[in-house]
Amino acid sequence: MITAFIPARQGSERLPNKNMRPLAGVSLASLTVLQALELEGIDNVVFSTDSEQYADTVFRDVTTLGRPSERLSIHYRDAEQADARSKIFHVLKSLADQSFFDAEYVALMLPTAPLRRRSTAKRVVDLARNQGQGSFTACAYDFHVSFAFSESSRGGDDQLWHPLLPANPMVTGVTRSQDQIKYLHPHGGIAVVKVSQLGSQRTIYEGAVAVTTTRVEGLDVDVSEDLDFVRCLEEGLRQTFPFLAEQEVNAST
């Protein structure tokens, strides 16, 4: 069995109440819960929050749209688990220690990554069901990370910037885009981990396979500009909401 776990605390600072921001007619949290409920291979869905209002909103959206709410349950987090410094992975580890999950695997899906595609999520779930393999979604950086540098904070420093990597193209002169190594980063689309291994792992990515996606799927809503950009895509993707199906997304990979 696989349980989807969707976390949404109310204390976001850079974009207040970001998990309740509307997209495609429902909140971001509701949208992700709906996606999980419709995903083949997910047996149960847990919405984890510290807000009764958030929970009420999600249940209202699910029932209004006629989705199977009997597979949806609410986990209310205490103040410590909802603190800004609390990590979702530590919440999962704590719940696993308490035998909270009646499933072999837990699938973490973040409300701030609403543009996940059905085929991508199914591939991640199938890796667990058919191969017993943990996995997570990832996409390429928007710009080659090999160019990354920091500005000098020391007065009178001859070097005004410092490269992150020794082979920075600004140092080597190898600046052509096609000559750069493609680096990936994980995103909040979906990550599946074996419940029995949560206690021994340091991160949800340990021993897991990366499933690469388009950059659009990796869009994360963290500040207001992110939400504005996702909403710009909404009109073109409206036919596939509340869960992106097989429509091709116009994005570079």
CATH of the domain at 126: 3.90.550.10
Residues 68 and 134 in one domain: yes
The pLDDT value recorded for residue 252 is 37
On whether the CB atoms of residues 180 and 172 are closer than 8 A, the answer is no
For residue 247, is it within any domain?
Answer: no
Residues 231 and 124 in one domain: yes
- Cα separation values, 37 from 34, 150, 243, Å: 5, 43, 10
CA 118-218-227 angle, 5° bins: 105
Residues 12 and 29 in one domain: yes
Q: Structural domain tally of the chain?
A: 2
Three-class SS of residue 26?
A: strand
Residues 94 and 16 in one domain: yes
| Structural domain of 163 | 145-177
Residues 94 and 209 in one domain: yes
* Bigger pLDDT: 33 vs 152: 33
Residues 82 and 168 in one domain: no
For residue 252, is it within any domain?
Answer: no
The pLDDT value recorded for residue 11 is 78
**Is residue 97 predicted with pLDDT exceeding 50?**
yes
* Bigger pLDDT: 198 vs 79: 198
The burial of 78, by beta-carbon neighbours within 10 Å (0-12 exposed, 13-18 middle, 19 or more buried), is given as: exposed
The pLDDT value recorded for residue 113 is 93
Three-class SS of residue 223?
A: coil
CA distance 203 to 192: 12
The pLDDT value recorded for residue 242 is 43
- Specify the amino acid at residue 77: R
Three-class SS of residue 56?
A: helix
Read off φ and ψ for residue 115, nearest 5 degrees: -95, 20
Query: Of the candidates 157, 177, 197, which is a domain's last residue?
Result: 177
Residues 170 and 188 in one domain: no
- DSSP bridge partners of 5: 46, 108
Can you tell me the mean pLDDT for 138-151?
93
For residue 234, is it within any domain?
Answer: yes
For residue 75, is it within any domain?
Answer: yes
Residues 156 and 190 in one domain: no
What element of type H or E holds 92?
helix 88-97
For residue 248, is it within any domain?
Answer: no
What element of type H or E holds 30?
helix 28-38
Nearest to 118 by CA among 248, 244, 249, 251: 244
The pLDDT value recorded for residue 237 is 63
The pLDDT value recorded for residue 132 is 94
Query: Of the candidates 129, 158, 177, which is a domain's last residue?
Result: 177
- Cα separation values, 122 from 63, 72, 137, 153, 200, Å: 24, 19, 11, 47, 26
Task: For residue 14, name the pLDDT band (cuts at 50, 70, 90).
Answer: confident
Residue whose tokens read 């009109």: 235
Nearest to 162 by CA among 247, 171, 121, 187: 171
CA distance 196 to 192: 12
Residues 157 and 191 in one domain: no
Residues 64 and 188 in one domain: yes
The pLDDT value recorded for residue 247 is 37
Task: For residue 253, name the pLDDT band (cuts at 50, 70, 90).
Answer: very low
* Bigger pLDDT: 48 vs 87: 48
The pLDDT value recorded for residue 154 is 62
- DSSP bridge partners of 107: 4, 192
Residues 209-252: tens digit of each pLDDT: 999 998 988 999 999 999 988 888 776 665 555 454 443 333 33
For residue 251, is it within any domain?
Answer: no
Residues 156 and 76 in one domain: no
Query: Of the candidates 177, 200, 224, which is a domain's last residue?
Result: 177
The pLDDT value recorded for residue 246 is 40
Task: For residue 156, name the pLDDT band (cuts at 50, 70, 90).
Answer: low
For residue 245, is it within any domain?
Answer: no
Residues 168 and 191 in one domain: no
For residue 249, is it within any domain?
Answer: no
